[in-house]
Structure 1
Amino acid sequence: MSAIAPASSPLGRSAVPPRLSVPFLPLAALLVGYGVLPFLGSDYLFDALLTPFLALGLAAVGLNLLTGYAGQLSLGSAAFMAVGAFAAFNFDLRVPGLPLLASIALAGLAAAAVGLAFGLPSLRLQGFYLAVSTLAAQFFVTWALTKYGWFSNDSASGVIDAPPLRIAGYAFVSPVERYLFALTLVAVLTFLAWRLVTSATGRHFVAVRDNETAARIIGVPVLRTKLLAFALSSFIIGVAGALWAFAYLRTVEPNGFNLDRSFQILFIVIIGGLATIRGAFLGAALIVVFPLLLSRAGQALFGDVFDSGALEMTQRMILGALIIAFLILEPNGLAALLDRLKRRIRPSA
C-alpha cells in the first residue's frame, strides 16, 4: 500500500523522512559527540549544556511523536518525565540486583501506562479540550508524588539523591561519563523513533493527524493509533525524565518536573519544527543554550545596575519576544529554516 499521508504535510514539507537512507547530519553529529567533544569539552559544557540538551531533546522527540506526527496536543510532558524519574529510582531501590538499564526501561513502561491512562480522553476529545485533559496529569502526578512519601522513600524534604549510573560494575561518575551515557541512550531511542515514523505505524500517525475520518475509511485503526501514540510518546518522555534526574540534576524531586517544564518541551517542539525528529534537537539547542548566553550577557552588561531577579525577568521577556518573532518569520520551525538554507546553497538538490 502506498503511503497514507499526503505527499506534503501542512508544514510544507514531507512529514515522513526517507525510509532507508540515514541522514548525513545525524551521523556527523554522533561522530562529533563521541569523537571530539569528550576530549575537548569542559565539565561546565557537559553539566550545564550538553546533558540537559540531550535529556530535553529526547523528551521533545517523544512529544513530537504525539503532537507533530499523531496530532494529539499534550501539556503533561513534565508529569510523564516525573513518572519516569521516580519509577526508575524506586525500581533501582526496591528490586535488588536489577540492572540500571532495566530500571530505566521499566520506568519508561510505567510512564507509558500513565500516559495511556491520560490518553484515553483523546478517544473523545480533540485540540484545546484534549490539552486541558492532559494538563490534569501534571497536577495529579505532582500531587501524588508530594502526598505519598513512599515514592521518595519517605524523605522529609521530598528531594532524594539519584542512584549512581552503573552498568556491569562500571560507574559513570564524571560529567563527561554521564554525558556519554546520556548520548548513547538518546541516540538509540532517537534512531528507534526515526524508524517508527518511517514505518506503517508512523504513516498511521500522520493519517490520523491529517484527517481522522479519511483515516478510518481507508482502514486505519484510529482509536488504537491514538493510544499507541500516547504510550510510545510517554515511554520516551519517561526515559528522558530518568536521564534528567540521574544524569543532569542527580536528584529526584517533584520540583524538577513542574508545569514550566511541560511548556518548555512544547516550545522546543514548536520552535524546532513539528513532525521532524531533528527539529526536537534544534529546538532544544536554542532553548538550552540561548538563555545561558542571555544570562551571561546580562550579568556582564547590567550586573552592577539591576538585581538578579530583574535580570532574570528581562531575560525571559527577551527570550519570549524572540520566540514570537521567530515563529512569525518561520512558523514551521528551525528544521524548515535549515531546509530553506540548504536549497539556497544547493539549488539542484
Structure 2
Amino acid sequence: MIYRETGVFRETYAEDMALFPIPLERWSIIAIVLLAFLGVPFLASQYWLGSLIVPVLIFSLAALGLNFLTGYAGQLSLGHAAFMGVGAYGAVILYGRYDVPLLLSLLGGGIAAAVVGASFGLPALRIKGFYLAVSTLAAQFIIEWVITHVKWISGGVFATIDTPPLRMGGWLIDTPIEKYYLTLAVVVGLTVFGRNLVRSRVGRAWMAIRDRDVAAEIMGISLFRYKLLAFAVSSFYAGVAGGLICFTYYAAANIEEFNLLLSFKFLGMIIIGGMGSVGGSYLGAGFIVL
C-alpha cells in the first residue's frame, strides 16, 4: 500500500517508530530533497537563491526549533529571536576573532544559545501560560541589552560585527549557489535529526507534558529534565540559524535584526504551518517570509 487508508493504523512498534512509515511520504521527501540539491540551484536565479530561498530555509530552521518548544512541549516563548541573536554573535565571534572553522563556529553558536535558552527556561519548571510568556519576553529585552552594552561581545553601542569571507577548508564560499548549498546541507541535517528526535522517547515525553503535565509526572516523566531539554534544543536550533543567516545573508551580526517583532513572526510561522509539525515549520516560514 503506497498510502494508508482511513481507519488503518500502525499495528507494530516498528511501524510506529519508522521515520517515514508510508511509502508515498518517503518517496515524496526523497524527491523534494533531490530537487532542492539538483534542481533548484539551476532553475532559480541568483536573486531568488540569495535573497529569498536562503532566508526562507534559515527561518524555517529557527521556526522548527520553536516548534519543538511550543508545538511539541507546550511551552510558550516570546524571546526566540533573542536566542537566535545569541547564536549569531557566538558564531561570528568564534569564526572572526578566534579562527574557529566555519561548521564548528555554527555549532559553538548553537551551544551558546542552548545554554542561555536553558537558563531562561528554568522558570518554566514553576510557571506556565501567561507568566511563562512574560518570563521569555523579559529574556528578549535582557539579551538585547547585554549584547548591546557588553563591549567584549559587540564592540560597543552599535553592536555590529562584520563577518569575514566564508571559507571551509580551501573552499571560498562567496556565491549565492555556494551559500545556498551550505545552508541547505545544515538545514537538511538538522531537520532529519529533529524528525528522529520527536519520534523518540524525548519527543513522546514532550507531547505527554504538553497534553497533561501532571499525568506525565505521575507516569515517571521528569518535568525538570524534559522542559529544560526542550528549551535547550529549541535555542540550539535558533542559534545555528542565527549564525547561518549572518554568514550567508546579513554579512554581519546586528542585534537589531533579532528583535521582538521577529519573535512574534516565529510564533506566526508555527501557528500557520501547524504546531507539532516538522514540515509545517517550512510552510509557515515560506508564508511569512515570501
Same structural fold, with TM-score higher than 0.5 when normalized by the shorter chain: yes
Count, aligned residues:
271
Q: Match of 1:68?
A: 71
**Residue number among 31, 35, 39 corresponding to 2:38 in the alignment:** 35
Q: Match of 1:204?
A: 205
Cα deviation, residue 145, structure 1: 1.2
Q: Match of 2:54?
A: 51
- Extract unaligned runs of 5+ from structure 2: 1-14
> Which structure is higher in RCO with an 8 Å CA cutoff and minimum separation 6?
2
Query: What residue identity is the alignment partner of 1:111?
Result: A
Cα deviation, residue 79, structure 1: 0.4
> Equivalents in 2 of 1:76, 1:258: separation in Å?
9
Query: What residue identity is the alignment partner of 2:131?
Result: Y
Alpha-carbon contact 1:66-1:73 (below 8 Å) kept: yes
3-state DSSP class of the match of 1:79?
helix
> Equivalents in 2 of 1:211, 1:163: separation in Å?
48
**Aligned counterparts, 1:249-288, within 5 A:** 249-288=250-289
Query: What residue identity is the alignment partner of 1:117?
Result: S
Q: Match of 1:4?
A: none
Q: Once the two structures are superposed, what CA deviation does each residue of 1:45-83 show, in whole Å capped at 9, x if it has no partner? A: 012210110110000100000000000000111100000
Q: Match of 2:240?
A: 239
TM-score, normalising length: structure 1:
0.75
> Equivalents in 1 of 2:101, 2:61: separation in Å?
22
Alpha-carbon contact 1:80-1:115 (below 8 Å) kept: yes
Alpha-carbon contact 2:124-2:227 (below 8 Å) kept: yes
Cα deviation, residue 89, structure 1: 1.1
3-state DSSP class of the match of 2:78?
coil
Alpha-carbon contact 1:165-1:178 (below 8 Å) kept: no
**Aligned counterparts, 1:1-349, within 5 A:** 19-22=17-20, 23-24=25-26, 25-96=28-99, 98-152=100-154, 154=155, 157-289=158-290
Over the matched positions of the two proteins, sequence identity in percent amounts to 47
3-state DSSP class of the match of 2:172?
strand
Cα deviation, residue 278, structure 1: 0.1
3-state DSSP class of the match of 1:171?
strand
> Equivalents in 2 of 1:161, 1:94: separation in Å?
11
3-state DSSP class of the match of 1:160?
strand
> Equivalents in 1 of 2:52, 2:284: separation in Å?
13
Deviation larger for 20-29 or 137-146: 20-29
Alpha-carbon contact 1:81-1:238 (below 8 Å) kept: yes
3-state DSSP class of the match of 1:34?
helix
Cα deviation, residue 235, structure 1: 0.5
> Equivalents in 1 of 2:34, 2:16: separation in Å?
21
> Equivalents in 2 of 1:280, 1:165: separation in Å?
27
Greater than 4 Å deviation, 4+ residue runs: none
Cα deviation, residue 217, structure 1: 1.0
Alpha-carbon contact 2:72-2:275 (below 8 Å) kept: yes
TM-score, normalising length: structure 2:
0.90
Cα deviation, residue 29, structure 1: 1.8
Query: What residue identity is the alignment partner of 1:138?
Result: Q
- Extract unaligned runs of 5+ from structure 1: 1-16, 290-349
**Larger of the two Rg values belongs to structure:** 1
Query: What residue identity is the alignment partner of 1:106?
Result: G
> Equivalents in 1 of 2:202, 2:254: separation in Å?
35
3-state DSSP class of the match of 1:36?
helix
